[in-house]
Amino acid sequence: MKRLGILLSGRGSNFLAIANNIASGRLSGCEIAVVISNKADAQGIAYARERGLNAVGIEARGRKRAEHDAEIITCLREHEVDLICLAGYMRLLSPEFVQAFPQRILNIHPSLLPAFPGLDAQQQALEYGVQFAGCTVHFVDEQLDHGVIVLQRAVVVYESDDEHTLSARILEQEHIAYSEAIQRVLSGEYEIVGRRFLTRR
């Protein structure tokens, strides 16, 4: 059984979707070993506790990044995680963190990268006028929203969309995409050629 470590900062809907997919067997061969938040009062942490999962708040406020990250690294190691999933974790990881888990950290971003990295990706997409948007699950490297892409799912942008309606349509796809990407990575049946994530047949 592979062990997942989830990092979040807020609402936690992607975490919940992963937990639900594990419970229903749609995502198999893994379990959630620990849920960590840099905000002790994150909604996602409350959900994790309700489900009887190990939930840890490691407050970032007022602390140096390296020191805060070191504590999270220790926690992830203590829980012997195989794969780390950033699920709305709103803090940049230090290079030390990324290097501690090479090709072992995934993130989900609400745009079709490399378009619209950073904050408010859905609003950026609307303002740019794209007609397709979506989400990307990618490995985390030392640059923001940049690592190798594991999986993307696209949605149509309608003329009537605002940030709220577009975000909701993308989020629905996020909840499918993240578990699929985790399954692919955990299978080990892939190789990375350049920046391409190729499934081994």
Residues found near ligand GRF in the complex (CB under 6 A): 8, 10-14, 87-88, 108-110, 135, 171, 174
Least distance to ligand GRF from the beta carbon of 34, Å? 17
Residue 11 or residue 146: which is nearer to ligand GRF going by CB? 11
109 counts as catalytic: yes
Residue 50's alpha-carbon distances to 24, 31, 43, 47, 126, in angstroms, are 17, 16, 11, 5, 36
CB of 152 to ligand GRF, least distance (A): 12
Q: Is the peptide bond before 114 cis (omega within 30 degrees of 0)?
A: yes
Non-local CB neighbours of 156 within 8 Å, separated by 6+ positions: 131, 132
C-beta of 39 vs 68, nearer to ligand GRF: 39
Which amino acid, residue 76?
L
Contact 69, 93 (CB under 8 A): yes
For residue 191, the minimal CB distance to ligand GRF (Å) is 26
In the complex with ligand GRF, the residue whose CB is nearer, 70 or 184, is: 184
CA 56 – CA 108 distance, rounded (Å) = 21
Q: Which of 166, 85, 65, 175 is nearest to 120 (CA)?
A: 166
Q: Out of 109, 138, 146, 164, which one is annotated catalytic?
A: 109
Nearer to ligand GRF, 78 or 83 (CB): 83
- Give me the residue whose beta carbon is nearest to ligand GRF: 88
What minimum distance in Å lies between the beta carbon of 110 and ligand GRF? 4
Active site residues per annotation: 109
